[in-house]
Structure 1
Amino acid sequence: MVAASAFSYISPEEYLAAEATSPIKHEYRNGEVYAMAGGTDAHVTIALNLWALLRAHLRNQGCRAYALDMKARIEVLNCYYYPDVMVTCDDRDFSSSAVKRHPCLIVEVLSDSTEAFDRGDKFTDYRHLESLQEYVLISQTRQQVEVFRRNAEGLWVLHPYRAGERVSLASVGWAGGIADLYEDVTFSEPDTTPASDDLKFDAEAR
């Protein structure tokens, strides 16, 4: 989400109708529409690497993995977003070909223009999805993955991973080497940044 139109309230129906024929993707947040910038080579490669791993893992399990072009709907906030990767295992989602409302896993690949929003307001919005069990942020400048997992008390706990480690996504029962997510990705600088310490997010922030 990088640029907003001059504000004039747009209904969800108007947004969906326009989005169906638009050559540019837009996200929608309570009446406002925001154009999305195109992804970099690294951004797209990371998203598709993870999608391919999850698709193979989830085959015949009643779950579906989507990448880049599938909208997530947050009805209580009147929002539509395009996660980089999303998984739903809810039968109610399979009746819609363009929108998913009950994802258990959402992944965003960070970029300079969207990182603050992905970590802040977008994460706050996603937490209103009762079905969501994990929210994942993946760096495209170093091997670093941050998995925010909702625990039994409803708190969001950060599980960070870095180069040489195995990433675990409990919401879909998948684990694999972090290097697999970065296959064919070239970094401009060596990976020397340590992973963040564990953090907790109060469920009341939802």
Structure 2
Amino acid sequence: MGLQIPSYPELSVEDYLAGEQQSEIRHEYIDGQVYAMVGASDRHGLIVNALAFALTPAARRRGCQLFTSDMKVRLEIGGSSIFYYPDLLLSCDGDDRHAYFRSSPCLIVEVLSESTQRVDRQEKFLSYRQIPSLQEYLLVAQDERRLECFRRSRDWRGEILTQGGLYLACLELELSLDEVYQDLAN
């Protein structure tokens, strides 16, 4: 006799979006199934805040919208709908203004943790690369000074930075690693 694995009915995109508006817990959505999000550490929060603080002036100058953690990105891949909550999402497309998600970001950032880094490096990276507007994908370590940047213009080959700065084409901005990690020194 085989192991019985419970199956759950698929949730429609409309029901998912309606449920997220009322839920106290955030969920990611992959082709009809929802997955609860875990909480973040203080280091994670400080890095996300530092990134938002550093990027906001350039985003405003360029007419872009910058979101941290609570804005979903919507993907359509192979007939499947997917909604993720990136740690930071930047959309510069004036037509990309749905109230609860964005579909055309030019920059996505994920802050790595032990529990999420496999998904951020593999599943999400492969999915995010399918977004035509995405120019850069950043993975930021929270336990060491290390930033990995993947760019469409470099065929998604990664570059690793442990010091200095990084030019973000989407914002025409040089981002300093000192800015990203400044609050962790305290």
Q: TM-score, length-normalised on structure 2?
A: 0.91
Task: Work out the number of aligned pairs and report it.
Answer: 179
Counterpart code for 1:167: L
1:44-101 residue CA offsets vs partner (Å, 9 max, x unmatched): 110111011111122231111111100100023300011101111101113x221101
CA apart distance, 1:186: 4.7
Structure 2 match to 1:156: 156
Supply the distance in 2 between the matched residues of 1:176 and 1:115 (Cα, whole angstroms).
Answer: 22
One-letter amino acid of the structure 2 residue matched with residue 138 of structure 1: V
* Alignment partner of 1:100 out of 99, 102, 111: 102
CA–CA distance in structure 1, aligned partners of residues 69 and 184 of structure 2? 18
**Partner secondary structure for residue 184 of structure 2:** coil
| RMSD of aligned alpha carbons | 1.6
Q: Deviations over 1:9-38 (max 9, x none)?
A: 111111111110000000001111000011
Corresponding residue number in structure 2 for 1:10: 11
Kept in 1: contact 2:62–2:171 (CA 8 A)? no
Paired letter, 1:116? R
Partner of 1:199: none
Residue equivalent to 1:82: 85
* Structure 1 segments unaligned to the other structure (5+ residues): 188-206
1:127 deviates by 1.1
Q: 1:126-165: CA deviations, max 9, x gaps?
A: 111111111110000000000000127xx21212110x31
Displaced runs of 4 or more, over 2 A? 5-8
Residue equivalent to 1:173: 172
Does structure 2 retain, via aligned residues, the 8 Å contact 1:73–1:80? yes
Query: In the alignment, which residue of structure 2 is the partner of 1:126?
Result: 128
- The aligned counterpart of 1:52 is 53
SS of match in other structure, 1:59: helix
Aligned to 1:70: 71
Provide the C-alpha distance between the structure 2 equivalents of 1:7 and 1:185, rounded to a whole number of angstroms: 42
Aligned twin of 1:182: 181
Q: Name the CA distance, whole Å, in 2 between partners of 1:8 and 1:122.
A: 24
CA distance in 2, matches of 1:105, 1:117: 18
- The unaligned stretches of length 5 or more in structure 2 are 1-5
Tell me, in whole angstroms, the C-alpha distance in 1 between the residues paired with 2:7 and 2:38. 17
Question: Secondary structure at 2:96's aligned position in 1?
Answer: helix
Query: What is the TM-score when the length of structure 1 is the normalising length?
Result: 0.82
